[in-house]
Chain A
């Protein structure tokens, strides 16, 4: 039963979704399934939140390296949860949305979470610069092609590319760097992306069929 019930649920729901996608008459059934899916997805928040707390409490208790950061994480998590749940400082009170303008939740998000998050992402620029100096080498033919393509795209994304090839006559406009960059994106890149997407789609179809037919059972756990 421990194995049969999850397999039955998966097969039934999977079949409904596949049929509903191609049969407009089954839209209501699909809608019900999707709402059920959304309700289940809500529990991921509880699971994710409780897991975060458990992992960081363990880290603090064991004094693992960097356990001080875990205190900051737990403090931030608890603070946002408390303020968000009880709508502290919310101009519309408990009935207002947590992100109501002027609410404490929105203020902390706007002035702490958003800048910190954007700062972390912006650090990428430093690592990209360092990698471009140390790792981006024309070691073989494939790497050289990649390097030349990257170079044209980088130039094409700036005014410099336009200035450098503005002298090129209109009948040879494909040779202008911004147009070359567009060509790379819409031809070789497109072909490569399509090939990857078709491959992934075929893989997803075959894996979905294996799941629906009960051939693939790894999701049931190792003891199954």
Chain B
């Protein structure tokens, strides 16, 4: 056990005990103490770099295998349908998908249906794709289609014709002049769609308007709060799903475990699982303490 973990456990234990004593005595614990406690718990875990190992669950493993089993040079579309609020949760997924697909030498089509997605896509391209895959050539190995307004309307159009909606890429280059588009006319020529997002339009719209109609396999990556809503689509309409930071952490562990070149890669989701685990423990303790106090007060009132 590391010093950081022991310090955090002692801090959490002490704090929980104090709140338990106050609650049992019937004293109201000011919510500012609660805020301070949860904030400090997360801060401690971050400061001491507390980390836990992760093992991929079947739903994440299915997503990993889907990319793994595609033939070399397959066409993969990644949709960055999210905003900065969701970025800490789903950004690491985008990084992983970029790494995995390019390591497998697939062709990457990047696009977004969210106005805020384009800037985040630029960050991923600049921070992950270009430095880690300098051999990847624009127009031959990857292309950035940028943002288009219209939500599912855009999916409807590109399902039958990319050029009708995107005469050019995000940089103003004609699609016909990009080698990647020689054999790609519509979404039906894409081998896999990876939808990353947690709102509307997002994974659900990609499943309904592209996956179902075009018979294209879809892998999803969403914020944790949205994941339960997408389970009904798994495993037929959605071949794999990454839910929240945990899903991203599991995917990172799969990548680092299976590829030597990614052994030392940055793993923000695995890093975030430490603070998240600590926060979950505190929330569970609060639920227990809250209920103890509730039943004690009911007993007192009953007397």
A-B contact pairs, 30 of them (CB 8 A): A34-B153, A37-B153, A38-B148, A99-B119, A106-B119, A110-B119, A113-B119, A117-B83, A117-B85, A118-B88, A125-B38, A126-B34, A129-B38, A132-B287, A132-B290, A133-B34, A133-B290, A136-B287, A136-B291, A147-B287, A147-B291, A154-B280, A154-B283, A157-B276, A158-B277, A158-B280, A159-B53, A178-B57, A185-B231, A186-B231
* B83 / chain A contacts, CB cutoff of 8 Å: 117
A117 nearest in chain B by CB position: B84
Question: With contacts A38-B150, A178-B57 known, what are 4 further pairs, Cβ within 8 A?
Answer: A97-B171, A134-B31, A157-B280, A185-B227
**Would B146 and A129 count as touching, CB distance under 8 A?**
no
**Would A189 and B231 count as touching, CB distance under 8 A?**
yes
**Would A101 and B29 count as touching, CB distance under 8 A?**
no
* Min CB–CB distance B222 → chain A (angstroms): 13
Taking beta carbons and an 8 Å cutoff, which residues of B are in contact with A?
19, 29, 31, 34-35, 37-39, 42, 52-53, 57-58, 83-88, 116, 118-123, 126, 146, 148-151, 153-154, 156-157, 160-161, 164-165, 170-172, 213, 224, 227-229, 231-232, 246, 273, 276-277, 279-284, 286-287, 289-291, 294
* Min CB–CB distance B179 → chain A (angstroms): 21
* Min CB–CB distance B196 → chain A (angstroms): 16
Complex: how many Å from CA A48 to CA B85?
Answer: 20
Residue in A31, A128, A136 whose CB lies within 8 Å of B290: A136
Complex: how many Å from CA A92 to CA B284?
Answer: 52
Residue in B37, B157, B170, B232 whose CB lies within 8 Å of A190: B232
* Min CB–CB distance A97 → chain B (angstroms): 5
Complex: how many Å from CA A41 to CA B95?
Answer: 30
Complex: how many Å from CA A194 to CA B42?
Answer: 35
Complex: how many Å from CA A87 to CA B171?
Answer: 13
Interface centre among B37, B52, B287 (most CB of A within 10 A): B287
* Min CB–CB distance B172 → chain A (angstroms): 6
**Would B232 and A38 count as touching, CB distance under 8 A?**
no
A171 at the interface (CB under 8 A from B): no
A101-148: which residues lie under 8 A (CB-CB) from chain B?
101, 105-106, 109-110, 113-118, 120-122, 125-126, 128-130, 132-139, 147
